[in-house]
Amino acid sequence: MPDGERRLAAIMFTDIVGYTALAQRNEELALRMLKKHNRLLRPIFSRHNGREVKTMGDAFLVEFNSALEATNCSVEVQKAMRDFNERAKETLQVRVGIHAGDVVRRKGDVLGDAVNIASRIVRLADGGDICISEQVYDQVRNKVRFPLVRLESHDLKNVAFPIDVYKVKLPWREQEVNHETEHAEPFAGVIRRRPVRVRTIDLKSVRGIISKLTMKDRIVIVKLTNDSEMPEALARFSETVDYGRGETLHIVSAIETVSIVTDSKNLEKLIAMIPQKKILGVYPGLGEIVISFPEDTIFMPGIVATISGILAKNKINILEYFGSSPQSIVIVDQQDALRSYQLLQELTVT
């Protein structure tokens, strides 16, 4: 398929439930489990003619020629994960979302509504489950051996029209759900069969690790649709930001969105460079606290939990939290910025 050509395809997203929390608790274990997960899933994609488009941390984006190939692949993925979990000391729960629709290939990536919608559908699945859109359901309902159960209606974020979502009812999942209900654990993403000692940082340990704090008010976040035109537009905007005068610019890119954190006075300038239809939301009246760490400590388990816990205990809501080594950026309401800064000052080097 040449670059820029539009075609129909089935798009599958997979990700590991609870992986971020595991990485914060025990990064070494998380990376080891991720390698096992990747080695297990990649051959399955190939057997069903799936093309691995890219990985995003613990997630896969895979393209198929047909909805049936994608669905059969997802069933084998979940069966393989079940078999893996039965013999593993630490188990992983993977969720899958599939949608079929138009895509455009560009520089090895795929773009389009099918990708955006699949990325929303996967979030409706629990660990071990497969969720498919009604477009996939229409193509596979008489061709798979498992029941397909329609879920309650959900509004998919940034999807203008309603889409019914179905779950593939896997027989072993019913047994697992019943067992999990009887023996519920607070952390269901990675279920441990044996206790694992994890080194974490508590409040006392964090105190002294933070080397510097800075605070700014009159901050705005603009959320944009992420597409091939966005990098060039944001590069133009970046050239207008006066870093010498201490102006702020942080760009956080996700699969289908980009978050821009900048000074409120730059808002009109930014909006003028972006087509209105690509602006998903504008959130003014914010403040930011930039927390600086030594580079070897920023990802140590417990730091994020300690910082967010201090603010939550004092009834301060964190609107965004960005990790940007060797710093973390906390976004709060402007009215809470100074109090947040003062609370976190207690954790700085004295």
Least confident of 100-114, 196-210, 288-302: 196-210
12 within some domain? yes
- CB-based burial, 54-92: b 16+ in 10 Å, e otherwise: eeeebbbbbbbebbbbbbbbbbbbbeebbeebeeeebbb
Mean pLDDT confidence for 80-102: 89
Mean pLDDT confidence for 154-180: 65
Q: The tokens of 286 are what? A: 């914010």
- The pLDDT tens digits for 205-221 are 555 667 778 899 999 99
146 and 226 fall within a common domain: no
Instruction: State how many domains the chain has.
Output: 2
- The pLDDT tens digits for 284-323 are 999 999 887 765 555 556 677 777 888 888 889 888 887 6
What are 109's strand-pairing partners?
A: 106
27: CATH: 3.30.70.1230
91 and 210 fall within a common domain: no
75 and 143 fall within a common domain: yes
170 and 213 fall within a common domain: no
Owning domain of residue 245: 203-345
What are 324's strand-pairing partners?
A: 327
273: CATH: 3.30.2130.10
Looking at residue 208, its amino acid is G
44 within some domain? yes
The pLDDT score that the predictor gives to residue 244 is 72
Q: Report CA torsion sign: 23, 28, 30, 34.
A: positive
- Given a cut of 70, is residue 108 above it in pLDDT? yes
- CB-based burial, 257-269: b 16+ in 10 Å, e otherwise: bbbbbbbeebeee
160 within some domain? yes
Query: What is the average pLDDT value for the chain, to the nearest integer?
Result: 80
* Cβ–Cβ < 8 Å for 329, 288: yes
224 and 170 fall within a common domain: no
153 and 34 fall within a common domain: yes
187 within some domain? no
- Given a cut of 70, is residue 188 above it in pLDDT? no
209 and 245 fall within a common domain: yes
165 and 286 fall within a common domain: no
143 vs 228, more confident: 143
121 and 176 fall within a common domain: yes
146 and 13 fall within a common domain: yes
| Cα radius of gyration rounded to whole Å, the chain | 22
189 within some domain? no
The pLDDT score that the predictor gives to residue 36 is 92
- The pLDDT tens digits for 124-151 are 888 899 999 988 998 998 888 888 888 8
- Given a cut of 90, is residue 80 above it in pLDDT? yes
* Cα distance between residue 327 and residue 293, in whole Å: 6
From residue 157, give the alpha-carbon distance in Å to each of 9, 121, 219, 257, 321.
Answer: 21, 10, 24, 11, 20
Looking at residue 18, its amino acid is G
124 within some domain? yes
- Given a cut of 80, is residue 326 above it in pLDDT? no
First to last CA, the chain: 60
15 and 131 fall within a common domain: yes
52 and 164 fall within a common domain: yes
The reported pTM is: 0.52
Q: What is the dihedral of CA 174, 176, 178, 183, to 10 degrees?
A: -170
